[in-house]
Amino acid sequence: MRLRRKFFPRSLRDIGCFLMMFIFIPITFVFEITVVLPDFHDQSSAIYILTCLLGLFLLFNLQANMLACMLVDTSARTVLLTPPSNERQRQYWRYCSVCEMLAPPRSWHCSICDTCILKRDHHCSFTGSCIGHKNHRYFVFFLLYLVIGATYATIYNSIYFWWLHAATYVNWLTLVKIVFPMFMLCFDVSWQNFYLLIYMLNVIASAYSMVLIAYHTPYIMRGAKDCEKHAQRYDQGVRRNLVTVLGKRMKLAWLSPFVESELPHDGVHWENVMDDTEKHR
């Protein structure tokens, strides 16, 4: 698998989103392990140890899948492009005037990445890279573990703030800080406010990742990509659609981005998929 040479985010928005996510995730883990969990479980208890191990598993997969999205090169320049001789199949290829080449079906040019991306789904600001054919799997698991981790932390933190430490946090000033977080950061710097900021970010991350999962899942299940016309020609059934994204070992791929899961398609000659689909119909 080929890696990107320039994998750091390029735009200011991408840099900001990436740094926020890359720094926020490990800080949240440390906060949960050192501040929140000791109020729930004895540090020598089995449930505390198991919760810490689960947290490490989530932290590893979040960061590793995020980095995999950035590192894996999914551009059209990583493969040998051979347009089909068949005129009916060739009509789905298009000329990219920026890259000065014929781009295969489902590939589009990204102005931020400055290249054509194989089966381009969208540009992800949190990873500073386009999500396409070769790194779609890592994006899916990044989102999945973000939902699990952020929601898990939000539940623990909600009980910590609004029940165990209600005397400290449940007041009108807390509501002002939640609505106007800059007020909290600029005029009242303290550990309590820092804890509250982490809690707010967890709530936002949980809600936002749930929305993203709900948005992307129907596309993946139908074998489509974001905002794709005539996507029904690529629909091979739910299971084969999932394998196209997650690979042939998708039942194990969730364990780690280092688990090899070969994709059944090269991301270029989608006419094979279209022909198979037409036969089944």
pLDDT bin (cut points 50, 70, 90) of residue 194 is confident
Is residue 121 within 8 Å of residue 111, measured between CB atoms? no
Does the residue 5 lie in any domain?
no
pLDDT bin (cut points 50, 70, 90) of residue 216 is very high
Does the residue 133 lie in any domain?
yes
**pLDDT per residue as tens digits for the range 230-272:** 788 899 999 999 999 999 999 999 999 999 999 998 899 887 6
Residue-level length of the chain: 281
- Quote the mean pLDDT of the chain: 88
pLDDT above 90: percentage of residues in the chain: 62
Which two tokens mark 155? 């539940």
Does the residue 150 lie in any domain?
yes
**Could you give the number of structural domains in the chain?**
1
pTM beyond 0.85, yes or no:
yes
Is residue 264 within 8 Å of residue 248, measured between CB atoms? yes
Quote the domain boundaries for residue 153: 12-280
**pLDDT per residue as tens digits for the range 145-179:** 999 999 999 999 999 988 888 877 777 677 777 77
Phi-psi region of 128 (alpha: psi -120 to 50; beta: other; left: phi over 0): left
Does the residue 7 lie in any domain?
no
Does the residue 4 lie in any domain?
no
Does the residue 120 lie in any domain?
yes
Picking from 73, 121, 116, 120, the residue whose alpha carbon sits closest to that of residue 95 is 116
What is the model's pLDDT at position 272? 66
Least confident of 28-42, 77-91, 156-170: 77-91
What is the model's pLDDT at position 244? 94
Three-state secondary structure call for residue 247: coil
Count of Cβ atoms closer than 10 Å to residue 67 Cβ:
16
